Copies of this chain bind each other. A is one copy, B any other.
Amino acid sequence: MSKRIITISREFGSGGRFIGEEVAKKLGIAYYDKDIIGQIAEKSGLSPEYIQANAELSPKKGLFAYAFSGRDITGKSVEDMVYEAQRKVILEIAEKEDCVIIGRNADFILKDRGDVLNVFIHGDMTQKMQRICKLYNVTEADAVKMINDTDKRRRTNYNFYTEQKWGMATNYTLSLNSSVLGYDMCQQIIIDCTKL
Task: Say whether, besides A174-B175, A174-B176, A175-B175, A193 and B181 are in contact (CB < 8 Å).
Answer: yes
Taking the complex as formed, is A150 at the interface, i.e. its CB lies under 8 A from any CB of chain B?
Answer: no
Residues in B with CB closer than 8 Å to A188 are 192
A196 to B172: give the CA distance in the assembly, Å: 23
Complex: A180 Cα to B169 Cα, angstroms: 13
A120, CB-defined interface residue at 8 Å = yes
What residues of B have a CB within 8 angstroms of the CB of A174 in the complex?
174-177, 181, 189
- Which of B169, B181, B193 contacts A175, CB < 8 Å? B169
Bound together, the chains give a CA A122 to CA B177 distance in angstroms of 17
Q: In whole angstroms, how far apart are the Cα atoms of A120 and B171 in the complex?
A: 13
Contact B185 A196 (CB under 8 A): yes
Residue of B whose beta carbon sits closest to that of A193: B181
Chain B hits for A167, CB < 8 A: 168-170
Give chain B residues whose Cβ lies under 8 Å from the Cβ of A47.
none
Which of B168, B176, B177, B196 makes the CB contact (< 8 A) with A182?
B196
Q: How far is the CA of A113 from the CA of B118 in the complex (A)?
A: 29
Q: Does A173 contact B (CB under 8 A)?
A: yes
Nearest CB of chain B from residue A93's CB, rounded to whole Å: 21
- Contact across chains for A185 and B177 when beta carbons are under 8 A apart: no
Cross-chain contact A122 with B170 (CB below 8 angstroms)? yes
C-alpha gap A122/B173 in the complex (Å): 9
Min CB distance A121 to B, Å, is: 9
Return chain B residues, CB-CB under 8 Å to A176. Answer: 173-174
User: Hey, which chain B residues are within 8 Å of A182, CB to CB?
Assistant: 196
Q: Binary interface profile of A, 184-196, with partner B (CB < 8 Å = 1, else 0)?
A: 0100110011001
Residues of B within 8 A of A180 (CB): 117, 173, 196
Taking CB atoms, residues of chain B closer than 8 Å to A169 are 120, 122, 167-169, 172, 175
